[in-house]
Amino acid sequence: MCGIVGAVSARNIVPVLIQGLQRLEYRGYDSCGVAVYRSGGDAPGLYRARSTARVAELQAQVAADGLEAGTGIAHTRWATHGAPAVHNAHPHFSHGAGADASSRPARVAVVHNGIIENHDELRAELQARGYRFDSQTDTEVIAHLVDALYDGDLFRAVQAAVARLQGAYAIAVFHKDEPQRVVGARAGSPLVLGVGQARDGLPAEHFLASDAMALAGVTDQIVYLAEGDVVDLQLGRYWVCDRSGRPMGPEERPVRTVQAHSGAVELGPYRHYMQKEIFEQPRALADTLEGVEGVVPELFDGQGDQAAAAWRVFKDIDRVLILACGTSYYSGCVAKYWLEAMAGIPTQVEVASEYRYRRSVPHPKTLVVTISQSGETADTLAALRHAQSLGMRHTLTICNVATSAMVRECALAYITRAGVEIGVASTKAFTTQLAGLFLLTLALAQSQGRLSAEEEARHLKAMRHLPVALQSVLALEPQIIHWAEAFAQKDHALFLGRGLHYPIALEGALKLKEISYIHAEAYPAGELKHGPLALVTSAMPVVTVAPNDELLEKLKSNMQEVRARGGVLYVLADADTRIRSEEGLNVIRMPEHYGVLSPILHVVPLQLLAYHTALAKGTDVDKPRNLAKSVTVE
């Protein structure tokens, strides 16, 4: 989704800005742009380049223009207000008010992540003051507002401007009259300050970014800005003020050394990142479980500002509330089955965007569990903060990014080690989340006195076997390619599962629709006759997740209901189920039966099915239309 990079330096900063955008590219965007203060040449002032193509095209534009500068801001945009078009791409300028404004040089440049909810009202007010709007974006109001409030001090103008904004924002702003200064502010969207070094006798350079990753290789000295902060970047110095305008010292806004990954992940022998990430799952699981010698609460000890000891928290809770979005939500749905059956803990799973606005009944002894690959999903963060505001202080995150807001803001954490996930459709993050959630189930079962030493040893052994088990599931790929050829001809698909595998059916349907654009729905198989059976014809493939568990016989009856209506079944059956391929019934046999860990294995053929169907249809697998990797706006 949207990304920000900004810099104030004594050297030419354009390559750093472009490289920063390249590092953020994988999150999904539909236009990009850069604005700088150019001091040399005939007409010093603000210049910008914008593109609705890739960042590489923007790079070519700035190279052709010979754009060089020490101060600049850059952006990747994922359209919310206004179509993906050059005139809506950031940075946005303000040329001031008045009929002749557009003939005057630009005065203010702004990039923005988030959504300004009162932009209509601000737009009307600014138009009444003579400002002309060139875009349909909510962002442009910020440029004009800063211009209207500017009295020679950009920091003061931004402080006054953000006081008028409602909604979520991370912004970076600069003004032509203060060419060596960039001011940033955040509320509801992430923004970090990168502290650079003084070198070659030049004063220290400073950076802004929506993610420390954008600054990898530039600086690893990062200050995480807090909600409501405004930050001032100048050559050789910076300062941060909180929401009330109070200056923040190094105690309150410490500089942290952050080993952000560079984002430069090689594809190696793979055609797509999604394919690579599916095949990385054995290693991702092995890494996630590395060092787990036994089930101990310390595995979940906190790492952020609110860090707590897990054993204390586990003793004080009697229920679990899971909050997440997308694929992460489905991993939470699997965990509900585990937590209730194995740890005996009542568990509720909620889509974060619903929970945050619902009047719910808080319970102080709840363990609030957020699940997030990125740790920056706006709705999940807001849901966490909402739960905290209701007095629920026991919070835990299962997260793939150790430096994320989610980890910093939760009392406890389990960091999955899936590695960087680039494909928009999440795969290895999901299976490693499930591994983390299974460990959490064991830890809570133990704290409830429901896990014997023998059971602990047996479950850990099964978990350690997962990477090997996954390898043999991946070997099913040729059979899945065969299925995918048939799916690529279809417009709709139905996925069925029961119990622990109902969320796996949901995840399989999500994967297929995300990347192949085939309409797919999932149902608990027992619900078939309450609606979806009406859709079953020979044109509707029905995928059935059929592990050999206590619900298998029930599932077989559901499959008969489909066959009797001429539906074509595609069944992922365990080795020891006696379901055989015949006319209208296609079976792929999983190599082993995996017991309660089975969801981690059964999801993999469904990932491969979505991937190969998309491949057969020729869609953009890693960057599906309209979707973003990291959804940092509501």
Active site residue 2: yes
Number of neighbouring beta carbons within 10 Å of residue 308: 18
**Residue closer to ligand G6P, measured from CB, 424 or 466:** 424
Asked if 246 and 253 touch (Cβ cutoff 8 Å), the reply is no
Stretch that binds ligand G6P, among 209-217, 500-508, 586-594, 623-631 (CB under 6 A): 623-631
**Residue closer to ligand G6P, measured from CB, 165 or 368:** 368
Instruction: Provide the minimum distance between the beta carbon of 195 and ligand G6P in the complex, in angstroms, as a whole number.
Output: 27
**Residue closer to ligand G6P, measured from CB, 281 or 327:** 327
Q: Under DSSP, is residue 554 helix (H, G, I), strand (E, B) or coil?
A: helix
Q: Does residue 633 bind ligand G6P (CB under 6 A)?
A: no
Q: Which of 450, 114, 498 is nearest to 295 (CA)?
A: 450
Instruction: Provide the minimum distance between the beta carbon of 505 and ligand G6P in the complex, in angstroms, as a whole number.
Output: 16
Asked if 615 and 484 touch (Cβ cutoff 8 Å), the reply is yes
Among 424, 443, 520, 590, binds ligand G6P (CB under 6 A): 424
- Where do the H-state alpha helices sit in 222-348? 273-279, 281-289, 310-315, 326-338
Instruction: Provide the minimum distance between the beta carbon of 306 and ligand G6P in the complex, in angstroms, as a whole number.
Output: 19
Stretch that binds ligand G6P, among 95-103, 137-145, 423-431, 499-507 (CB under 6 A): 423-431
Which residue pairs from 131-136 have beta carbons closer than 8 angstroms and sit at least 24 positions apart in sequence?
131/94, 131/96, 131/97, 131/101, 132/101, 132/102, 134/87, 134/92, 134/102, 135/82, 135/87, 135/88, 135/92, 136/81, 136/82, 136/83, 136/88
Contacts of 298 (CB under 8 A, 6+ apart): 309, 310, 311
Contacts of 397 (CB under 8 A, 6+ apart): 369, 370, 371, 372, 375, 384, 406, 407, 410, 412, 413, 414
Going from the C-alpha of 478 to that of each of 474, 605, 612, the distances in angstroms are 9, 11, 10
Q: Does residue 426 bind ligand G6P (CB under 6 A)?
A: yes
Instruction: Provide the minimum distance between the beta carbon of 610 and ligand G6P in the complex, in angstroms, as a whole number.
Output: 12
DSSP class of residue 75 equals: E
Asked if 399 and 375 touch (Cβ cutoff 8 Å), the reply is yes
Instruction: Provide the minimum distance between the beta carbon of 500 and ligand G6P in the complex, in angstroms, as a whole number.
Output: 19
Burial 592-609 (b: 16+ CB within 10 A, else e): bebebbbbbbbbbbbbbb
Find the catalytic residue in 428, 511, 513, 629.
629
Stretch that binds ligand G6P, among 45-53, 304-312, 560-568, 622-630 (CB under 6 A): 622-630
Number of neighbouring beta carbons within 10 Å of residue 582: 10
Active site residue 32: no
Among 19, 275, 303, 372, binds ligand G6P (CB under 6 A): 372
Q: Which of 377, 366, 363, 438 is nearest to 407 (CA)?
A: 377
d(CA 483, CA 477): 10
**Residue closer to ligand G6P, measured from CB, 507 or 574:** 507
d(CA 402, CA 382): 19
Instruction: Provide the minimum distance between the beta carbon of 599 and ligand G6P in the complex, in angstroms, as a whole number.
Output: 16
**Residue closer to ligand G6P, measured from CB, 189 or 558:** 189
Instruction: Provide the minimum distance between the beta carbon of 166 and ligand G6P in the complex, in angstroms, as a whole number.
Output: 24
Instruction: Provide the minimum distance between the beta carbon of 191 and ligand G6P in the complex, in angstroms, as a whole number.
Output: 18
Q: Which of 340, 336, 334, 368 is nearest to 352 (CA)?
A: 368
Stretch that binds ligand G6P, among 80-88, 138-146, 367-375, 610-618 (CB under 6 A): 367-375
Encoded one letter per residue, x for contact with ligand G6P by CB under 6 A and - for no contact, window 298-327 reads ---------------------------xxx
Among 374, 431, 447, 613, binds ligand G6P (CB under 6 A): 374
d(CA 338, CA 625): 34
Among 380, 397, 431, 432, binds ligand G6P (CB under 6 A): 380
Among 335, 629, 632, 633, binds ligand G6P (CB under 6 A): 629
Instruction: Provide the minimum distance between the beta carbon of 68 and ligand G6P in the complex, in angstroms, as a whole number.
Output: 36
Burial 457-480 (b: 16+ CB within 10 A, else e): eebbeebeebbebbeebbebbeeb
Among 377, 403, 544, 548, binds ligand G6P (CB under 6 A): 377
Stretch that binds ligand G6P, among 340-348, 366-374, 497-505, 603-611 (CB under 6 A): 366-374
Asked if 205 and 7 touch (Cβ cutoff 8 Å), the reply is yes
Which helix (H) or strand (E) is 412 found in, with range? Answer: strand 412-415
- Report residue 354 CA to chain centroid gap: 17
**Residue closer to ligand G6P, measured from CB, 615 or 631:** 631
**Residue closer to ligand G6P, measured from CB, 35 or 398:** 398
**Residue closer to ligand G6P, measured from CB, 165 or 352:** 352
Instruction: Provide the minimum distance between the beta carbon of 209 and ligand G6P in the complex, in angstroms, as a whole number.
Output: 18
**Residue closer to ligand G6P, measured from CB, 205 or 507:** 507
Question: Binding-site residue total for ligand G6P (CB under 6 A)?
Answer: 16
323-352 residues near ligand G6P, rule: CB under 6 A: 325-328
Instruction: Provide the minimum distance between the beta carbon of 427 and ligand G6P in the complex, in angstroms, as a whole number.
Output: 9
Stretch that binds ligand G6P, among 8-16, 103-111, 368-376, 533-541 (CB under 6 A): 368-376
d(CA 409, CA 395): 8
Triad 295, 417, 269: Cα angle to 5°: 140
Among 373, 395, 516, 607, binds ligand G6P (CB under 6 A): 373
Stretch that binds ligand G6P, among 13-21, 255-263, 421-429, 461-469 (CB under 6 A): 421-429
**Residue closer to ligand G6P, measured from CB, 137 or 327:** 327
For the record, the structure tokens of 76 come out as: 């990747």
Which residues pair with residue 8 across a beta bridge? 71, 206
- Residues annotated as part of the active site: 2, 629
Where along the sequence are the contacts to ligand G6P (CB under 6 A)? 325-328, 372-374, 377, 380, 424-426, 627, 629-631
